[in-house]
């Protein structure tokens, strides 16, 4: 099976990249339609990189093997799979390094993710040692909260963060997302927050707000 990331380029020689991390049990294909709806022409050519999570047993699904960035023992919190999170963090760091090797500087790279991908985006982005353009967390939460202050990198203290969530999300309830937002603001991060009348999904108004965020953080 070819596990290379899906890539979409909006033009030749892109000088900005958006790395999009999918949710539990999904694949990079899930966010192709979202990327195709974004209109970012004012910032020039963009490369979207949509990787596929490794397959692993997932406890909440009775140990069924599926694409997952890390294991989940229970819905709504509880013990976290720190080893899995850190292994996937290394995978995302490798994707960032690859974009830099292809000529896109760190400050022109956005990390984005949905659900598990949101958690991994926040974990990796706050610890990355070069300034990134922005972080996007959709329908997710901040993992390893108690480690964030000690492990975060000063380079991304001023990096803007876009967080969006469904008010009726049964998988990651809204209060958990709000707690993550408050933890980030308490650490001094600039967070743009949006919530929508939806469940654990993505909606058109959210895509429009995301587009405006990307146009802002990637503007020349």
Tell me which of 115, 128, 165, 180 is the catalytic residue. 115
CB contact at 8 A, 112 and 19? yes
CB contact at 8 A, 73 and 59? yes
Phi, psi of 67 (to 5 degrees): -65, 125
52 tagged catalytic: no
SS3 57: strand
Tell me which of 30, 71, 81, 169 is the catalytic residue. 169
128 tagged catalytic: no
CB contact at 8 A, 27 and 52? yes
2 tagged catalytic: no
CB contact at 8 A, 21 and 113? yes
Q: Give the per-residue SS3 of 118-177.
A: HHHHHHHHHHCCCCCCEEEEECCCCCCHHHHHHHCCHHHCCCCEEEEEECCCCCCCHHHH
DSSP structure class, residue 62: T
Residues tagged active-site:
115, 169, 200
């Amino acid at each position: 099976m070819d596990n290379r990331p899906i890539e979409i380029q909006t033009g030749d020689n892109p000088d900005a990249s958006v790395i999009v991390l999918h949710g539990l049990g999904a694949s990079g294909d899930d966010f192709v339609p979202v990327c195709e709806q974004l209109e970012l022409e004012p910032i020039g050519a963009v490369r979207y990189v949509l990787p596929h999570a490794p397959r692993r047993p997932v406890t909440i699904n009775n140990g069924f093997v599926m694409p997952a960035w890390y294991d989940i023992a229970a819905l709504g919190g509880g013990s976290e799979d720190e080893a899995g999170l850190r292994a996937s963090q290394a995978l995302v760091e490798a994707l960032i390094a690859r974009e830099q090797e292809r000529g896109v500087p760190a400050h022109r790279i956005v990390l984005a993710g949905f659900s598990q991908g949101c958690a991994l985006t926040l974990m990796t982005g706050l610890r990355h040692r070069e300034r990134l353009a922005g972080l996007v967390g959709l329908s997710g939460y901040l993992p390893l909260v108690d480690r964030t202050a000690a492990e975060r990198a000063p380079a991304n203290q001023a990096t803007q963060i876009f967080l969006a969530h469904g008010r009726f999300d049964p998988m990651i309830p809204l209060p958990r997302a709000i707690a993550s937002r408050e933890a980030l603001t308490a650490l001094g991060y600039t967070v743009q927050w949006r919530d929508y009348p939806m469940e654990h999904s993505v909606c058109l108004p959210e895509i429009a707000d995301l587009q405006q965020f990307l146009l802002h953080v990637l503007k020349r």
